Amino acid sequence: MDVATAPFLTIPNLPPSVLIVIVPFLVIAGVLTTTRLYTTIRYCLALPRHTSATDKSAKAKPPPPVPYTIPILGHAISFLAPRPGKFWANLFRSHPRATGSCTLLLGGRNIYILFSPSAVQALFKTRGPARDGFNLQIVEKGLGIDCKEGLRFFGIGEGPDHTGITPAQQLENIDHNYLLGKKSVNELTAEFVRVLRDQVTSKLKGEGGEGKEKDDALYAWLQDMMFNASTTAFMGSRILEVYPNLREDFFNFDRVMLTMFFGIPKWLSPKAYNVREKTLGGLIEWQQQMQEECKSNPADPDGDVDWEPVYGSRANRARQRYYASRGLNTRTRAGIDLGFLFGLSSNAIPAAGWMLMHILDPEGDQSLLSRVMEELERARRDDGTLDIPTLIGLPLLHSVLHEVLRLYVDVLVTRELEEDLKLPLDDGKRQVLLKKNAVVMAPSWLGHRDEALWVDPPCHQFCAERFLKTDPETGKSVFSTSGTNGKFFPFGGGKSMCPGRVFGKQEILASVALVLLAFEFEPLGFVDEQRKSKNEFPGLRKSYSGSGIMAMDGDMRVKIKSRK
């Protein structure tokens, strides 16, 4: 039989209109199949070199490239799915953790992912890798700032000015002097505590006072007080007077910021961009009024005034002066301020909320609240104020905070490589090669929730005492993070570690302390985001990787009354 007429090779005589429809699908299917087949073969050939126990003396190799199906996009679609931890769980169903690293293709760019504690720790100690491009992406895509204005703010590539300091060094000095310096942080914390105490006092008079009780959602109740206090302490009291809807608009922005940062176009998510414009509009109005009130000359951050109502703290006044020296327009200033609010409130407030919910959890350790209260009494002065140095030294409270950070922080510590970099794996027995011009990420989720690193109790469980150890000399419990290098990094690591971490810790601990010392709470059950009753402790709200402190998908209903 002639091969050309063999029945199984005969191509149906289809109408052109049908072929027009079918052929593109066949071509796409062929491309996707070929891509998957090629990347799988490449992965299978590379993987043994990263897992072989007999290949530890060989030269360093790039992380194995994980297979994908869609050219250019690679793993981007599944990586951007707003389900915390889902991408990593799917990845490690087939990719062995023993490799310590892997390569993902995200939107046409190779991204190295590190999850070996040795490699992560070494990355943090390396001075070469930078994050300039990542910072620009944040301000441009996430905050809506023009590219030229973003470059002007960071001063990337600029040399020193007449004082011999570059713009980058000026920003570092602001962080070091006003966000990390002990005197400035203590002043900032004192102002935060003062404002929060005023709000707590108001709550005591307005609800739960004189034997009254009130039912409320715990986190929503806390969020309002903490946002007002931290914003006032850092930014001044005038901002909430000029922009009274800031809290509501900010938390709407908080939910959508990463949508824009990851490049989701406006036509796919118009609400996100509209929310940002509304929030920026309110901050622009505030900026314009404050510039008029202080005649574009904020109070000297190094003067005698530690806080004033127009621009608030020394740190904010120093930043406002930096904006002026760089010639930033009002929209850019408002955008950078929005970014600061994001760092100020989108992490500390949820962290305090998670702490309170675990301490009060009716299904958790029933002795935890009494043990925390016993510690807090040691930090309360005779006049009812908090002794902050004592507070931040309380071991159990500190352990609860760090366990919350371990369970609920999701950050992508990102660096850009300007030259090839070799990092150790397995305590240096093997090495991984990261090639220049690539991006490397160290996801906190992979260190914080590694079942092999957090064993007793298992990593998915909350354990208030996880960061406590017994002092062999005194027999007392002491707080300790020893042995967690490279696997626990809630504030990032290296030279770009979060500059607000010192104030952030004090803000969280002070909030939890003031609330627990002032009020009694009776848990009444849990609710979802629509305030409908549910049986389970709140879980994680849908969010993208890199969200910082992940928000909860519900709340705890409580009966609140003042303590006697």
Angle between helices 395-408 and 348-360 (to 10 degrees): 110
Which residues touch 510 (CB under 8 Å, ≥6 apart)? Answer: 189, 192, 193, 196, 386, 388, 391
For residue 41, give every residue at least 6 positions away whose Cβ sits within 8 Å of its Cβ, in sequence order, or none.
Answer: none
- DSSP character for 14? -
| Distance between CA atoms of residues 78 and 290, nearest Å | 44
DSSP summary character for residue 164: S
What tokens does 345 get?
A: 């409130």
Whole-angstrom Cα distance, residue 382 to residue 388?
Answer: 14
Q: How many CB atoms lie within 10 A of CB 498?
A: 17
- The C-alpha angle with vertex 228 and arms to 389 and 391, in degrees rounded to 5, equals 15
How far apart CA 109 and CA 499 sit, in angstroms, is 29
CA 320 to CA 287: how far, in whole Å? 10
Token pair 């992560």 in the structure block, residue? 120
Spell out the long-range contacts of 294-300 with Cβ–Cβ below 8 A and sequence spacing 24 or more.
Answer: 296/324
Residue 147 assigned as binding residue: no
d(CA 32, CA 23): 14
Q: Which of 70, 62, 32 has its CA nearest to residue 45?
A: 62
Amino acid found at 531: R
- Yes or no: say if 415 and 131 are a contact pair by the CB < 8 Å rule: yes
* H or E element, residue 389: helix 388-391
Please give the radius of gyration of the chain, using alpha carbons only, rounded to the nearest integer.
Answer: 27
What is the dihedral angle through the alpha carbons of 251, 255, 259, 260, rounded to the nearest 10 degrees?
Answer: 0
Q: H/E/C letters for each residue in 67-110?
A: CCCECCCECHHHHCCCCCCHHHHHHCCCCCHHHCEEEEEECCEE
167 touches 147 (CB < 8 A): no
Q: Under 8 Å CB-to-CB from 66, ≥6 apart: which residues? A: 39, 43, 75, 91, 95, 102, 103, 104
How far is it, in rounded angstroms, from Cα 7 to Cα 9? Answer: 5
Of 227, 198, 247, 441, the closest CA to residue 347 belongs to 227
Token code pair at residue 416: 């850009």
Q: Are 313 and 188 in contact (CB under 8 A)?
A: yes
The Cα 199–Cα 414 span in angstroms is 38
Count of helix runs (H) and strand runs (E) in the chain: 21, 16
| DSSP3 helix / strand / coil % (the chain, rounded to 5) | 50, 15, 35
Binding-site residues sit at: 498
Annotated binding site for heme: 498
